[in-house]
Chains A and B, each alone.
Chain A
């Protein structure tokens, strides 16, 4: 809901992202989409965002939830359960030095507001649905849910008042900021992402000037990966000779890799 999005928009200095049918905001390396209420709506909005915005490789579902905890308490999901399908996901949580190890529990995604408050889980209406879509695009170390308690046994969902949401959502900011920092500064991931991007870029360039079949394109990409892994740099395009035969090019790269010295 808008009251949930507002503190995040302000904290991350996000600007509205004009896209029909989507309430979304963009900022420095962060994109926020308002999913709306319910699993189907959330899945559809995430899919819509992914269709117009490339390069999204991490997901944090932030919002309110009900549970047997104090109002305004913040938890990170240690597991996400889709109550309908009974499918469960376990996000790979960051080190306890990054995210407090104490405030975690299962988030159960339900179709109707739940009044059966428990202290070992919280209930929401979107998180598992977001995870289901997100796992098609990335791995579980990059999919998280952060929830703030908006209703509990003393203040049931009928007492829910939208004007309280903004201050509660402010409580989530330290956790969300820590997660974003952790996800965006992952050196090991950046290394492999950059490695793949460099190889893909040269692959695309070569296949744009010299026809390769799909199989040959895969072979070329792997040969370039091997070249980069063994030489520390990609082959210089001008040193590769005429690029008028894909077969010759692949053979040339293969020969070069086969004759390469391996010294420890």
Chain B
């Protein structure tokens, strides 16, 4: 339940903002100039705010569609991302958003149409080439859909753009609006999946694995293109049995040949984010595990990471074709994404809020921290998705 709405004066008369406001008749409403005044102010406690987050309705200025970092793709050459929302309704302990933002409040940019205009013009820069647009890195694409109605709008828009493809990254089972409509052929609904016991321990407030698989199954049966994101892969002594079981549960429920793409990524965080997360959650057993720092990123020790990824890759390739598979670059054994991109048509490097590395905050009066200076700015992407 949202008790407090902060509303930018610029957006308060916007029909979408009005529709969202109307959903919270009992909430207090506070007018603000710019979302950054609240979202980026000092002396905030992300962990406390996460218990009772406020919703900030804002207008996104500046660059709304940004290129993904080199090598970030699921098969396309032209790749972009956009965030109609900042922060996530879930509370996953590995999520980089905890280390990136000062605030646990949600920001929803209500000017979807401006995003769509930018997506269209970006796609039309090279109309002969398909362009990919990724949603769900600074938020969950579907989780707040009953309030924002984002998916209907964005899918209507992509229906008019045959040269543009959309990935909706999520952990949410809010798929009613998708099932009500005809599948959009140039959209992929991609679910982040973890073993049930890992999800129960670290993915607070997120739907269970069983429910996510059920949602995937429902979407696939309805004709939607779906993707699987096993990211981050977390270590445990019983990881082989956990991930074998996860893959069996998932692929037994789905038509593997019809899956659009599968990606795999290790646990990884930029060092400053990791340090902030430890300050917020000193009692997290996940963050208490042995880690190593390499190229400004924190991840599992190399041998553990390679064993984990190697095992999962072998298991996955028993179930899918190589052309469906998009592994992340290993943190402990990184390749140069640019070189890799030149040498292979299909790369790796999935997730990540690479975004974090390229987040555009030009409209925030007080700037959110970003990863601009990091050589390998790709945290364990799952913001919570």
Is the CB of B38 closer than 8 A to any CB of chain A?
Answer: yes
Task: Verify A101–B37 contact, CB threshold 8 A.
Answer: no
Q: Tell me what chain A mostly uses at the interface: helix, strand, loop, or mixed.
A: mixed
Task: Verify B289–A262 contact, CB threshold 8 A.
Answer: yes
Q: Knowing A139-B43, A228-B283, A263-B237, say if A92 contacts B27 (CB, 8 Å).
A: no
Is the CB of A141 closer than 8 A to any CB of chain B?
Answer: yes
Task: Verify A225–B283 contact, CB threshold 8 A.
Answer: yes
Cα A192 to Cα B48 with chains together (Å):
11
Nearest to A76 among chain B residues (CB) is B28
Nearest to B1 among chain A residues (CB) is A95
| Chain A residues in 8 Å Cβ range of B105 | 92
Is the CB of A19 closer than 8 A to any CB of chain B?
Answer: no
Task: Verify B48–A141 contact, CB threshold 8 A.
Answer: yes
Total B residues in contact with A, Cβ cutoff 8 Å? 43
Is the CB of A239 closer than 8 A to any CB of chain B?
Answer: no
Q: Encode contact with B along A180-208: 1 for CB under 8 Å, 0 otherwise.
A: 00000010110110011001000000000
Is the CB of A152 closer than 8 A to any CB of chain B?
Answer: no
Task: Verify B49–A92 contact, CB threshold 8 A.
Answer: yes
Is the CB of B30 closer than 8 A to any CB of chain A?
Answer: yes
Task: Verify B284–A229 contact, CB threshold 8 A.
Answer: yes
Q: Knowing A93-B3, A263-B237, say if A229 contacts B282 (CB, 8 Å).
A: yes
Task: Verify B30–A78 contact, CB threshold 8 A.
Answer: yes
Contact partner, A196, options B26, B45, B236, B282, Cβ 8 Å = B282
Binds A, one of B183-191, B194-202, B247-255: B194-202
Task: Verify A188–B51 contact, CB threshold 8 A.
Answer: yes
| Chain A residues in 8 Å Cβ range of B235 | 262
Report the minimum CB–CB distance from A135 to chain B (whole Å): 4
Contact partner, B3, options A95, A141, A189, A196, Cβ 8 Å = A95
Task: Verify A104–B49 contact, CB threshold 8 A.
Answer: no
Task: Verify B41–A104 contact, CB threshold 8 A.
Answer: no
Which B residues form the contact surface with A (CB < 8 A)?
1, 3-4, 6, 26-28, 30, 32, 37-38, 41-45, 47-49, 51-52, 54, 105, 195, 197-198, 201, 234-238, 242, 278, 281-285, 287-290
